[in-house]
Amino acid sequence: MKNYAAALIVVGLVGGFSAVAADLTGRVMLKGAAPKEVEIKMAADPRCAALHTKPAFTRFYQTASDGGLADVLVYVKAGLPQQEWPMPSEKFLLDQVNCEYTPYVAAVRAGQTIAIRNSDPTLHNVHATPQINKEFNFAQPVKGMVTEKVFDKPELPPIRFKCDVHPWMFSYVGVFDHPFFAVTDEKGNFKISGLPNGKYTLVAYHRRTHTTTEGLAQEVAVDGDTKVEFVVQLK
The domains of the chain are located at 4-233
On average, the pLDDT of the chain sits at: 90
- Name residue 162's amino acid: K
8 Å CB contact between 45 and 165: yes
Please give the pLDDT value at position 184: 98
Angle at 230 between CA 29 and CA 222, to 5 degrees: 140
Strands 146-150 and 113-118: antiparallel
Is 166 a residue whose pLDDT tops 60?
Answer: yes
Q: Please, which pLDDT band fits residue 213 given cuts at 50, 70 and 90?
A: low
Nearest-CA neighbor of 154 among 176, 130, 128? 176
- Name residue 177's amino acid: D
Please give the pLDDT value at position 12: 31
Task: State which CATH number among 3.90.79.10, 3.40.50.2300, 1.25.40.10, 2.60.40.420 fits the domain covering 4-233.
Answer: 2.60.40.420
CA 70/CA 12 separation, integer angstroms: 27
User: What mean pLDDT is predicted for residues 184-200?
Assistant: 97
8 Å CB contact between 185 and 164: no
The distance of Cα 24 from the centroid of its chain, to the nearest Å, equals 17
Please give the pLDDT value at position 22: 92
Nearest-CA neighbor of 150 among 166, 133, 129? 133
Which region among 2-16, 83-97, 190-204 has the lowest average model confidence (pLDDT)?
Answer: 2-16
Please give the pLDDT value at position 215: 82
CA 116/CA 103 separation, integer angstroms: 11
DSSP secondary structure letters along 11-43: ----TT--S-EEEEEEEEEEESPPPPP-EE--T
